[in-house]
Amino acid sequence: MRKIVIMALVLIAIVASNCGSSTSRNAGNSGSQPTDTGAVKLIFKEYEHNFGKVAEGEKVGFIFTFENKGTSNLVIASATTSCGCTVPKYDTKPIPPGGNGNLEVVFDASGRKGMQTKTITVKSNASIPVVLLRITAEVVPTLN
């Protein structure tokens, strides 16, 4: 069992160290002029949102806004959630440098109780390719 745990930790370390690495696409460029790498910078206005108290069965939404602060078009490849009760919607069109976009998240409190924390994983072509957003809510019983 101990060997399995050690092997798992080694594997995690290897994967983590390779997450941010990339290869140069301009390897053949030997000129002295610096080249624009076309860096894309995805910056969200907020990375977390708390809905506060939400009645069980209620659907609530929030729009995360973001900006492309890079020099090339931003393309959101996917937005996935940690639970089927949370649905993200986003525009798949490229966002030009300096442009803004929205990612809407709808949380369905049906069948949920107590504190809820859900994660939205946003994957893009940005220099940091994976961004985590988080929503929280306290689901309270409805009064009949």
The C-alpha atoms of residue 106 and residue 31 are separated, in whole angstroms, by 50
The C-alpha atoms of residue 116 and residue 78 are separated, in whole angstroms, by 23
- C-beta separation of 29 from 57 below 8 A: no
Strands 114-124 and 130-140: antiparallel
All structural domains of the chain, each given as residue ranges with its CATH number in brackets, are: 38-140 (2.60.40.10)
Q: How does pLDDT run along the chain (144 residues), one tens digit per residue?
A: 444 444 444 444 443 333 333 333 333 344 444 334 569 999 999 999 999 999 999 999 999 999 999 999 999 999 999 999 999 999 899 999 999 999 999 999 999 999 999 999 999 999 999 999 999 999 999 866
Strand partners, 75: none
For the entire predicted model, the pTM comes to 0.72
Rg of the chain over Cα atoms, rounded to whole angstroms, equals: 20
